[in-house]
Amino acid sequence: MTIRFAERMINVKPSAIRELLQLGADPAIISFGGGYPDASLFPLEQLNSVFQTAILDQGRDALQYTVSNGIPKLRAQIAERMAKEGIKCNQENVLILQGGQQGLDLVAKMMVNKGDLIITEDPTFLGALAAFNPYEPRYATVPMDKDGMDINALERTLAANLEAKFIYTVPDFQNPTGVTMSLSRRKELIELANRYDVVILEDTPYREVRFEGESLPPIKSFDTEDRVIYLGSFSKILAPGLRLGWAVASDDIAQRLTLLKLGADTQCSTLNMAAVSLFLDSFDIEPHIANIRQTYLRKKNLMLDTIRQTFPQEVSFTEPSGGMFTWLTFEYGFDAGRFMRERALPEAKVAYVPGAPFFAVEPKPNHARVSYSTQTDERIFEGISRLGRLLKTAVHQAKAS
Ligand code: PMP
């Protein structure tokens, strides 16, 4: 039979990394590829207690359909947390989502016609490209350095693309680079967006997982023109399987996104929303988040120390102050995907994510994303040491040939 797929499916393809990462599922392989949080940090007992209460005390409501933008109590709790971050909003500006990921889809659905331009960081979050691609956008990319997007380059891009629909940024501990946008760049970014009259999509699921330095205000906190759509998530501070995140946006945008959500999935799980709302009411989430931060700080330090000790100096890496990733840069001409397939997996039994697919326009093969979140301390030390020894051998072999 012939299935007459929509044209948009041309942009919907499995990525080559998926296959590579499946090889990493072998228990003999130490994988730094996955983007999962450390499951030992999920607050199981507390979640068990709030789910029980949600079912036993509120079951008739908590198992019923509810409004598409999410249960009012949880929206109010999120609005309160956002206010502490300097974001002025009320519960009508908050829309509960099936993870921040759903926000990426719904915003693109709301704004992007075929051929419209989205500006992204270079590299950018792969899941965002997966969400945007079915809407058939064009991309313009803005290079990054250790302080985030290069704002001069962004200005040139905006000047050359006055019709750009939105700027997509992950300002805190970006996936994949681990880089955080500096305070001055956040201010410059919003000024530019105001001047060029363009929307900013601020996606920040790692924001609360800062383990070093002072938290920087969200870009949304500088927004005087309702042009920032903010996305947050419970995935990294509670558990991703709950599939709960949120958007904060103007009344108009929140209402339009709610209509799209109604069509997409009606609502998030009433039970999960009720349980998380009870969690925020019954327990102090701050010590729990402090524990997550401490664990990731330890793992990050261990990984970076091991990289310093074992990697050839030709490989550079980012120093994240939060989140789950460091980003490796190899010498020009090095193909991290090929190296993983031909050497890292068979010889060192180590996996990472080759960097090429994170670039929206021009793939750069000499990068890799390495995550310190899921592996134990022992396996971080062992896997990174093995990779470092292999890379040193490879550098020597390349020089000798
Ligand atoms: N944005 C970024 C930058 C991410 O890294 C992720 C998760 N890996 C998401 C959004 C989506 O997360 P969730 O849907 O679980 O909230």
In tens, the pLDDT along 31-45 reads 999 889 999 999 999
Residue 11 pLDDT greater than 90, yes or no: no
CB of 205 within 8 A of CB of 233? yes
One-character DSSP codes across 35-48:
----GGGS-HHHHH
* Structural tokens at position 270: 């009433």
Burial class (CB in 10 A: 0-12, 13-18, 19+), 244: buried
Q: Is any atom of ligand 1 closer than 6 Å to the C-beta of 363?
A: no
- Mean pLDDT for 150-157 is 98
Q: Say what the pLDDT of residue 24 is.
A: 66
Count CB-CB contacts under 10 A for residue 348: 21
In tens, the pLDDT along 50-80 reads 999 999 999 999 999 999 999 999 999 999 9
Nearest CA to ligand 1 atom 5: 175
Q: Is any atom of ligand 1 closer than 6 Å to the C-beta of 125?
A: yes
Spatial separation of the C-alpha atoms in residues 165 and 118, rounded to whole Å: 6
In tens, the pLDDT along 177-225 reads 999 999 999 999 999 999 999 999 999 999 999 999 999 999 999 999 9
Q: Is any atom of ligand 1 closer than 6 Å to the C-beta of 101?
A: yes
Closest ligand 1 atom to Cα of 235: 15
Q: Is any atom of ligand 1 closer than 6 Å to the C-beta of 205?
A: yes
DSSP state of 149: E
Please give the residue that has the higher pLDDT: either 400 or 84: 84
Distance from the CA of 84 to the center of ligand 1, in angstroms? 22
Count CB-CB contacts under 10 A for residue 324: 26
In sequence order, which residues have a C-beta less than 8 Å from that of residue 27 and are 6 or more positions away?
A: none
Q: Say what the pLDDT of residue 314 is.
A: 94
Give the pTM.
0.97
> b/e string for 202-227 if b means 16 or more Cβ within 10 A?
bbbbbbbbbbeeeebebbbbbbeeeb
Distance from the CA of 205 to the center of ligand 1, in angstroms? 6
Distance from the CA of 35 to the center of ligand 1, in angstroms? 9
In tens, the pLDDT along 306-316 reads 999 999 999 99
DSSP state of 232: E
CB of 368 within 8 A of CB of 352? yes
Domain annotation for the chain: domains and CATH numbers = 14-42+287-400 (3.90.1150.10), 67-266 (3.40.640.10)
In tens, the pLDDT along 244-278 reads 999 999 999 999 999 999 999 999 999 999 999 99
Residue 18 pLDDT greater than 80, yes or no: no
Helix then strand count (H, E) for the chain reads 12, 14
Distance from the CA of 170 to the center of ligand 1, in angstroms? 10
CB of 306 within 8 A of CB of 388? yes
User: Rounded mean pLDDT of the chain?
Assistant: 96
Spatial separation of the C-alpha atoms in residues 327 and 142, rounded to whole Å: 17
Closest ligand 1 atom to Cα of 104: 10
* Structural tokens at position 139: 């991309």
Residue 19 pLDDT greater than 90, yes or no: no
Residue with tokens 């927004």: 223
Distance from the CA of 394 to the center of ligand 1, in angstroms? 34
Q: Say what the pLDDT of residue 35 is.
A: 87
Percent of the chain residues past pLDDT 90, beyond the cut: 93
